[in-house]
Amino acid sequence: METRAYRHRIRSERTPLASVSSARLALALAVWFMVSGLCAGALLATQSLTGPDPEVLSLVMLAPAVGAGAAWLLLRCHSPWTLPRARPGAMAASLALAVAAIAIYFTALSILRESGPVMPREVAGTPLLIFLLLQSVGALTEEIGYRGLLLHGLQRWLPRWGAAVITGVLFGLWHVQYYALPPAQFAAFLVGTVALTATMAAVMTGTFWQRMAVCTVIHLGANLALAFVGTAQVPMTVFAGAIVVGAIVVGALVAVVPSAQRRSATG
C-alpha cells in the first residue's frame, strides 16, 4: 500500500517547479538554451587555444551547467532540488540499478562487437584515474542541464516519459560532432540518447543532487563503454542497441523489484 509520504513525493515529482509560473519557467528554459549555446561556442574557442585534449575532456560539456546557473537565477531559487531526500537504502538501490545498466552496456557491446573491454593505463597522455575524474565532471555538468533543469522543467507540462523523450532528443542534438554521420547512424544515436534518458528517469530518486549522482554514473558508464569496448570506432547502431537493451532490462528490474523510488520518503 502506498504511504502518504510516497503519494506526496510522486505528486512532487510530476510538478517539481509547481510554484513557478509557466511563463517564468518557459523563460528560464529559453535562457538556459541560449546561454548554454553561447557558452558552448566560447568553450570551443577556449579548447582550441588552451584547453585539454578533447578526448580527455571536451569543455563544451560544461556549458549546460553554466546555462542552468543562469536559468535558476530567473527561477529565484525555486528549483528541482526541493524534491524530498531518498533514504540511504533507496539511494543504494538506485545506484545499484545504475551500475547494472553500465554492466549491460559493456556486456552488450562486447557481445555485439565480439571484443571485450580494454582499459588503458592512460588516455591521450593522461593517466586513467585523471581521465575518469575529468569525464565524471563533464558528465555531471551535462546532467545538471539536461536531466536536471530541462527534464524537470518539461514535467511542468508533460508526463515524465514524454519529458524524457524530448530531453533525450535534445540531448542527442546537442552533440553536433555527430551531425556528419550518415542519417541512419545519427538517427540511431538519437534513439540511444532517448533510451539513456528513459533509463535515468526510471532509476533516479531523491533530491536534485541525489538524482544527478545517479544520472552521472549512468552517463559516465555509457561514455566509457563507447570508449573502451573494441579498438575501432563503434557504429552508432551498435551503441544504441546496447543502450536500448540496458533500458529494457533496467525497466524490467524497476517494475519487478521494489524500486528505489517507491522506497524513498521525505527526509
Query: Which of 37, 62, 39 is closest to 139 using CA atoms?
Result: 62
pLDDT in the model for residue 267: 37
Q: Which residues of 211-220 are buried (b: 16+ CB within 10 A; e: fewer)?
A: bbbbbbbbbb
Grid coordinates belonging to 187: 538517427
Q: Which residue has the higher pLDDT, 216 or 255?
A: 216
pLDDT bracket for residue 77 (50, 70, 90): low
| Stronger pLDDT, 156 or 29, i.e. the higher one | 29
**Cell numbers of 13, please?**
515529482
Reply yes or no on whether the pLDDT at 80 is more than 80: no
Alpha carbon distances (Å) from 47 to 41, 58, 178, 209? 10, 8, 18, 28
pLDDT digits (tens, 9 = 90+) for 164-196: 999 999 999 999 989 999 999 999 999 999 999
**pLDDT for the residue 19:** 67
Give 113's pLDDT tier (boundaries 50, 70, 90). Answer: confident
- The region of weakest confidence among 21-25, 142-146, 197-201 is 21-25
Give the Cα separation of 129 and 55 in Å (integer): 14
Reduced to 3 states (helix: H, G, I; strand: E, B; else coil), residue 143 is helix
Confirm if 167 and 149 have CB atoms less than 8 A apart: no
Q: Tell me the pLDDT band of 75, cut-offs 50, 70 and 90.
A: confident
Which pLDDT does position 79 carry in this prediction? 52
Q: What is the mean pLDDT of the chain?
A: 86
Residues 6+ apart with CB under 8 A from 263: 86, 87, 89, 90, 93
Q: What are phi and psi of 117, to 5 degrees?
A: -70, 145
pLDDT at residue number 231: 67
Q: Minimum mean pLDDT among 71-85, 170-184, 231-245: which range?
A: 71-85
- Helical spans, DSSP H, in the chain: 4-14, 22-49, 63-74, 88-113, 128-143, 151-154, 160-174, 183-203, 208-228, 236-256, 260-263
Task: Specify the range with the lowest mean pLDDT, choosing from 83-97, 125-139, 158-172, 239-253.
Answer: 83-97
Relative orientation angle of helices 183-203 and 160-174, to the nearest 10 degrees: 140
* CA 260 to centroid of chain Cα atoms: 18
135 is written with which cell numbers? 569525464
One-letter amino acid for residue 120 of the chain: P
Residue 172: CB atoms within 10 A of its CB come to 21
Are the beta carbons of 102 and 225 closer than 8 angstroms?
yes
What Cα–Cα distance (Å) separates residue 156 from each residue in 15, 55, 203? 5, 36, 20
Calculate mean pLDDT across residues 125-135: 94
| Model pLDDT for residues 4-47, shown as the tens digit of each residue | 443 444 444 445 566 678 888 899 999 999 999 999 999 999 99
Per-residue model confidence (pLDDT) at position 62:
96
pLDDT value of position 2: 37
pLDDT at 244 over 60: yes
The full set of domain ranges for the chain reads 4-263
Average pLDDT over residues 62-89: 82
